[in-house]
Amino acid sequence: MDLHSALRAGLPRDAVLVDRDLLEPYSRDSAPFCPAGRPSAVVLPRTAEQVQHVMRVAHARGAAVVPQGARTGLAGAANAADGCVVLSTTAMDRILEIDQANRLVRCQPGVVTHDLAESVAQYGLCYPPDPVSREVCTIGGNIATGAGGVCCVKYGVTGDYVLGLSVVLADGTLMRTGRRTVKGVAGYDLTRLFVGSEGTLGVIVEATLSLRPARRAALAMLAQFRGAREAGDAVAAIVAAGHTPSALELMDRTTTRAIADLGHPLLARADAATLIVECDSADPAGELAEMARLCAEAGAVHVETARDGARSEQILQARWLIAAAMGQVMSTMDGNPTAFIEDVAVPRSRVAALVDEIEAVSARYGLYISATGHAGDGNLHPVVLFDQDDPGQVRRAQDAYDAIMAAGARLGGTITGEHGVGLLKRDWLRRELDPAAFALQQGLKRLFDPAGILNPGKVVDLSPALAEAAHA
C-alpha cells in the first residue's frame, strides 16, 4: 500500500491532504533563513488513536513526520522536509476538563492559547503564559517550543505549568508522563524533557496544565530614558528593591521612534528608550509609584503612570504595536523587505550592555535593527530588517544575527530564551553546549527515536562527523 492510502486507512477522509496547493501553507513556520521542503502529505488527526495510526504507518516505512502547531514558531522547527508527512495538531482542539478544586486543565494540543486562557477564566482561574502570538498559537506548540511571553517575569514560562503529558512515540506507542498532583518525583522527569523538544522526541496529544487563581486588576506605567543604559539602571533598581512586576518590557530608541511614528499618543519622547511596567499586586498604584520614583532616580525624562484600566491598556498597547511599527518601516524600504526576529537572553543585569552591542552591530552592518524585549527576564528580541531580494543584505543580515548571538554569549547569555533551536540555531547549539552535554542530547534523540523519523534534523544534528567531534 502506498503512503497516502496507508494514512487514509486510519484517518477521516478530510484529515489527509495531498493536493499540492493545499500542502503549500504547511511547508514552513514563521522563521526566515531556514530551508523548507515539500511535504508528501499533511494529516490533521483529531484523536490520539489517529496520531498513533500516523506514526505506525510512518514508522513501518521509515517516513519522516514533522509535527506542527499553528506555525508561529520563529526557529524553523516546524518546517517540512521533502517528502515528509506533516502532522498538524490544529484539529485536536478540545478542552477535555477544567478541574476547579485542583486548579488544572486537561486539553488537546491544538487548543489556541488565548482560547484556553479565556475558558479557564470563566472558572475564576488563570493560565498566565502569554506569548505574543497567543491569539493564534497552540498549547501543543507552546509546550513543544518551551514558549515564554510577557508576564513570565512574574508568572514563569509554559514549562512551569505542564504537570503531565500524553505523547505518541516514534513507533506509535501512546505514553503518559507526569501527574495530576501538585508535587511528584516518581522517576526521571520525562514530562520536562518534552518541553522544548520541538516534536523530535514524540507527538504531544494531551496536556495537563496547572492553573493559578485569577490575576488581580493591573495598572501600568511608561517611563522614558535617554538611552537603554538608563533604562537598564531602572530595571536593576526595580529588581533590587524586590518588586515583581507582571511585565517589565524594554523598547530601545529605534523601536520607540517607530511606534511614535505610528502615532501612539503616549510616547511623548520619540528619541528615547522606553520601559513599560505592569503591576498586578495587591496595591499596584502604591507599588507603581515606588517604581516611578526609581525610574526618576535612574534618569527618566518622562514618566506616565496610569490611574485606571483604560490608560493602562493604552500604555500596554505600545508593546503590542511593535510588529505594526516594523511593518510601517518596511513599507518604506526598497525591494522585498522582511524582518528577522532574534531571541537572545542574558543575565538581567546585562540587558543594557546587550542593547549597546546591538546598536554597534547595526552600525557595523549598515542595517536597521531595533531591540525590544522582556527586560525583566534579560530576554531581548532584536528585529533585523533587510531586503530578501538583495543577496548582499541577506548575507549582512545573517552576519548581524550571528554577531548578536555572539554578543549574547559573551555577556553570559544563551542563544535562545524562548523561541527555541529548530533549524535556525542548530549549529549555535553545539557552540553553546559543552561537548559532553551535546553528546547526551544526541543520545536522548536516539533513545526516543532510534529510526530518526520524528522531525529529523531539528534541535540536534545527528550527523556522525558532528557526533565524533562532540565525543572527542
The three cell numbers of residue 159 are: 514549562
Q: Enter the C-alpha cell of residue 271.
A: 528619541
| Kind plus residue range of the DSSP H or E element containing 284 | helix 284-297
> Considering only CA atoms, which of 57, 322, 98 is closest in space to residue 210?
98
Using rule CB under 8 A, residue 122 touches a second copy: no
Residue numbers 239-258 binding a second copy by CB under 8 A: 239-240, 242-244
> Does residue 236 interact with a second copy by CB under 8 A?
yes
If binding is defined by CB under 8 A, does position 213 make contact with a second copy?
Answer: yes
CA 92/CA 69 separation, integer angstroms: 10
In sequence order, what DSSP letters do the residues of 326-375 get, joined into one string? Answer: HHHHHHTSSSSEEEEE--EE--GGGHHHHHHHHHHHHHHHT-EEE-EEEG
- Binding window for a second copy (CB under 8 A); candidates: 44-52, 132-140, 221-229, 428-436: 428-436
Pairing mode, if any, of strands 219-225 and 104-107? unpaired
Q: Which is nearer to a second copy, 212 or 226 (CB)?
A: 212
- CA 360 – CA 371 distance, rounded (Å): 12
- CA pair distance 420, 366, nearest whole angstrom: 27
Rounded to whole angstroms, the Cα distance separating 419 from 77 reads: 10
User: Considering the complex, what minimum distance in angstroms separates the CB of residue 417 from a second copy?
Assistant: 4
Angle at 323 between CA 322 and CA 329, to 5 degrees: 90
User: Taking CB under 8 A as the criterion, which residues in 402-421 touch a second copy?
Assistant: 412-421
- Toward a second copy, which CB reaches closer, 148 or 337? 148
In the complex with a second copy, the residue whose CB is nearer, 309 or 435, is 435
Sole window of 7-15, 29-37, 62-70, 183-191 interacting with a second copy (rule: CB under 8 A):
183-191
The conformation of residue 27, written as its DSSP 8-state character, comes to: G
User: Which of the ranges 58-66, 187-195, 323-331, 388-396 carries the binding residues for a second copy, by CB under 8 A?
Assistant: 187-195
Of 24, 60, 173, 389, the one binding a second copy by CB under 8 A: 173
Q: Which of residues 318-377 bind a second copy (CB under 8 A)?
A: 345-349, 374, 376-377
Of 30, 47, 119, 281, the one binding a second copy by CB under 8 A: 281
The residue among 196 and 457 lying less far from a second copy, judged by its C-beta, is 196
Applying CB under 8 A, the site for a second copy has a residue count of: 87
Nearer to a second copy, 81 or 201 (CB): 201
Q: Write out the binding residues for a second copy, residues 102-121 only, by CB under 8 A.
A: 102-104
* Least Å from the CB of residue 2 to a second copy: 29
Q: How far apart are alpha carbons 345 and 349 in whole angstroms?
A: 11
SS3 label, residue 178: strand
